[in-house]
Amino acid sequence: MKRIDLIRAIEQMGCVFIRHGSRHDWYQNPATKVSQPVPRHREIKESLAKHILKMLR
């Protein structure tokens, strides 16, 4: 999955950007207060993308 598509999906769920890490950007779901790192690679494996989306719901 393209990184930009994953970020669009995360933001459509209502999650917000928190901060830049050294190799990841952190997003948080304000309703559940769960944070997840998103790697800065152009391509992200489907299994990792699904895991990130599942955790941020």
Judging by beta carbons within 10 Å of its beta carbon (0-12, 13-18, 19+), is residue 24 exposed, middle or buried?
Answer: middle
Specify the pLDDT at position 41. 95
pTM over 0.95, yes/no: no
Per-residue confidence in pLDDT tens, the chain, 57 aa: 999 999 999 999 999 999 999 999 999 999 999 999 999 999 999 999 999 999 999
Question: Domain segments of the chain: what residues?
Answer: 3-56
Of 2.30.30, 3.30.70, 3.30.920, 3.40.1130, the CATH number of 3-56 is 3.30.920
